[in-house]
């Protein structure tokens, strides 16, 4: 069809803002670090994860998040997997 076909299913070139967002997530040196262990969360501002709804505990890597969210209030979320 003459359109560019990108690996991974991308079918359009990234716009400038999309490219900046991608860089923010992926560019070395701007990796978001876990607030607990200083390990890379693998996430960025747009999909940061926090242990609480107010965003005061985080950003966390998924490992710390799993730990902290289940110890908050002494309750677990087991059995509520979706």
Residues of the shown chain interacting with Zn ion in the complex, contacts defined by CB under 5 A:
34, 36-37, 61, 64
* Least distance in angstroms from the C-beta of 25 to Zn ion: 17
Residue number with CB closer to Zn ion (49 or 61): 61
User: Positive or negative CA dihedral for 74, 39, 19, 4?
Assistant: negative
Tell me how far, at minimum, the Cβ of 61 lies from Zn ion, in Å: 3
Given a contact cutoff of 8 angstroms between Cβ atoms, the answer to whether 18 and 11 are in contact is no
Phi and psi torsions of 43, nearest 5°? -130, 180
User: Minimum distance from CB of 28 to Zn ion (Å)?
Assistant: 19
């Amino acid at each position: 069809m003459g359109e560019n076909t990108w690996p991974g299913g991308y079918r359009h070139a990234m716009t400038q803002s999309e490219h900046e967002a991608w860089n923010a997530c992926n560019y070395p040196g701007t990796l978001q670090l876990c607030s607990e262990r200083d390990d890379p969360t693998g996430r960025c501002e747009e999909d940061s994860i926090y242990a609480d709804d107010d965003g005061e505990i985080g950003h966390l890597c998924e490992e710390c998040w799993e730990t902290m969210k289940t110890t908050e209030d002494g309750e677990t979320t087991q059995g509520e997997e979706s």
